[in-house]
Structure 1
Amino acid sequence: MSEREHIELTPEEERENTKAVITHVLPFAIWLTLMVWLGDPSGWKYAARSMAGLGLLLAFRPWRWYPRLQLKNIPVAIGVGVLIFFVWIGLEIPWVAENAPAVTEWYDRLFVDITKPFKLRELYDIGNGVMAPYEVISEGEHAGLHVYDPRVTGWLNFWVHMFGTSVVIAVIEEFFFRGFLYRWMLGSPFFKIDAGKLHWPMLLVISCFFGIEHFEWMAGIICGIAFGLLYIKTQDIWAAIIAHGTTNFLLGLYVIKYNAYQFW
């Protein structure tokens, strides 16, 4: 890897740099802390995380260090988001699982749940002898339904969940991983590092960090590379955010339409 670039700063610029770093890191760190602290994110907990994340973004305003969205980048951003959605679900969709079960099996063994290498997704009885890769409520009026099912949470809670995953976390993660971490590892202050500078080793490292944050870790790595390249090529952080949000929004619709709650 090339030597990390360092720009000499005045005391005032040092203070701005410190503020910029905190502004990018703290929302992400608090989001992760809430994940651990709140535990199971069902019911009101995911909504609480989403609203807390939104509050952090509005309080810290990391977009202060970036140009405005370039409208010309919206179509390609949406296109990348759609492409990554298909990458995420592609080898586990019912058609592939039914017609090429070996492909789905080896994908699950090799590229899903890095904590359990070479093992399949765990299956659970969701009623009537049907096995699925997610658990459902075992008793009561909602027996047989997933905790994220709108019939359990209510539609308001469902759309808050969709807002959280498609907007809040997309914004928090893109400002942290692509806007801050990638450029910070290239040099300091990170906000003065050329956003269009492509450094493959660093991009791969950051994408791996991003990938292992997700259960479908290989899809996450591919996703990280795609969003990173999109940011580098357009030099528009909002393009990466739109792509990320598009992927997550489509994934949420897919989850509800096909009861694919393993992706949530």
Structure 2
Amino acid sequence: MMNIQPAALARCLPFAVFMALLGLRGMLPEGLPGLDPRWIYGAGVLVVGGLLLHYRREYGELSRQNLPSMREAWLSVATGLVVFALWIHLDAPALQLGTPTASFVPLDGSGGLIWPLVAARLIGAALLVPVMEELFWRSFLMRWIERPQFQAVEPARVGIKALVLSTFIFMLAHTLWLAAILAGLAYALLYIRTGKLWTAVIAHAVTNGALGLWVIKTGQWQFW
């Protein structure tokens, strides 16, 4: 039987569950009687949030002792805003890997916003996903590529191979491939430079939060 490190499981399982639910939502057709696939996202927020809470003791990088300094926090915010600006402009057809399989349009039949769906999406995208994804992509995968005993790898010791490969896989999980590459590199370099996962989490949260507010204001639902 494969022996999975508890620290690896704590970083991989929430991400795997989230992606599985995302895939399920993409497979279900719209208009099913008694089932709105959009609410699967809300269920995912609850389930994955519960998993992160359950494994919280495994996330030493997110302890109070590892909070960023004020300068690092502002650098993270600025990075997140730059990534957001790039994301909404790097959407030409040539910069897309297919089309999203799980579109999320929180509108009712008359075109009005369904605010509980909007709230679920914003909470998930701006609060849950940044923690879940940074624990998986940067804390686990990038360091694991460097060395399977990933917890012993200091962020500053991550090499080019691990940085490039983890960013490439990160890109494959997104539709906007160039935007995803730049975002993945930005978050990873923050983590490597500061040695604090919180900087990547904050930048990711700012990107997703700004994107969510912009999507609601402009109705550019394809970005969700």
Instruction: Pick the TM interval, shorter chain.
Output: 0.7 to 0.9
Partner of 1:74: 73
| Contact 2:90–2:178 under 8 Å retained in 1 | no
Tell me, in whole angstroms, the C-alpha distance in 2 between the residues paired with 1:74 and 1:188: 30
| Aligned residue among 86, 91, 95 for 1:111 | 95
The equivalences for 1:110-259 within 5 A come to: 110-112=94-96, 114-115=97-98, 142-143=109-110, 145=111, 151-153=112-114, 155-259=115-219
From the CA coordinates, give the structure whose radius of gyration is larger. Answer: 1
Cα deviation, residue 201, structure 1:
2.5
| Aligned residue among 35, 43, 63 for 1:48 | 43
Cα deviation, residue 209, structure 1:
0.7
Structure richer in helix, relative to its length:
2
What code does the residue aligned with 2:69 have? L
The percent of aligned pairs where both chains have the same amino acid is 30
What code does the residue aligned with 2:49 have? L
What code does the residue aligned with 1:207 have? T
Instruction: Report the 3-state secondary structure (helix = DSSP H, G, I; strand = E; otherwise coil) of the residue aligned with 1:75.
Output: helix
| TM-score for both structures, normalised by structure 1 | 0.72
| TM-score for both structures, normalised by structure 2 | 0.84
What is the RMSD of the two structures over their aligned residues, measured on CA atoms?
2.5
Cα deviation, residue 83, structure 1:
0.4
Deviations 1:25-44, CA, capped at 9 Å, x for gaps: 11111111111234358542
Tell me, in whole angstroms, the C-alpha distance in 2 between the residues paired with 1:205 and 1:214: 15
Tell me, in whole angstroms, the C-alpha distance in 1 between the residues paired with 2:25 and 2:95: 27
CA 260–185 in structure 1, closer or farther in 2 if over 3 Å, else same? same
Partner of 1:57: 52
Tell me, in whole angstroms, the C-alpha distance in 2 between the residues paired with 1:238 and 1:25: 18
Q: Return 5+ residue gaps in structure 2 as ranges.
A: 29-35
| Aligned residue among 9, 21, 25 for 2:12 | 25
